[in-house]
Structure 1
Amino acid sequence: MGASPNGRRAHVPLPDGISPEKGADIHGPTAVIKSCAKLEQLKTGGALLNQKFTPSVVAGPKGLSRLAALVRSYFTMDGHHIQFNVVDRETLLDAQRHPEQYENLIVRVAGYSDYFNNLDKALQDEIINRTEQSFGA
């Protein structure tokens, strides 16, 4: 696809589902779900929303509680489909360099999961470049 007016360059993949453009989701996951919930998902049966967190962000009782609250909030706002990758950029880059060490690494792609090593490099790069969200302080 050609370039778009928002600054996306030609031949760069479009966002998956209703997920924000890579790098545009700079105000955190709560802002993302509030924006996506403005769409009338009840009429469509839902739309795919991907979010990416590093393991440290969702670790422990506090991280799990925050993630659960995010999901509950999205569903309360009539959001229907949210899925997560919990992996950091460095792990994914290392998996590209040393695929034999990551044979069991599974990622959410766009409505389905697959082994990271089964994906072509362009799709791997798309997943690597998703914004790593955090919940702030």
Structure 2
Amino acid sequence: MVAVNWPECYMTSGWMDTGDTAWLTACALPYAGVCLAYFTSGFNTAAVDHEADGSTNNGIFQINSRRWCRNLTPNVPNLCRMYCSDLLNPNLKDTVICAMKITQEPQGLGYWEAWRHHCQGKDLTEWVDGCDF
């Protein structure tokens, strides 16, 4: 699979193509998503980070295989009901669908450490300044 490093404006148009505008509005995407993607993966859709426990963080949002997607490890919850490799696709549809499920959990965007440390409580409009939605 070829990694795609998304320019911010092109990336936000990918979110708009998912068809789930209610989630985009509720989570203040594309602002939140662009900040989160930058600090989790550097906009790299094919990023995979291997954790000490054997789990992996996958894709542009580094979604973990421990709970959210199916890797080679048997008996994981797979709450997003998809393979982790689906999260590595430059088409962001599966990734956004899974991220939607994560943000519906009590922690919301706080699930991501990168969100808590770099994006939460900040003016995120600068991330998409000049983009035409």
TM-score normalized with structure 2 length = 0.25
Which structure has the larger Rg over C-alpha atoms? 1
TM-score normalized with structure 1 length = 0.25
Structure (1 or 2) with the greater strand fraction: 1
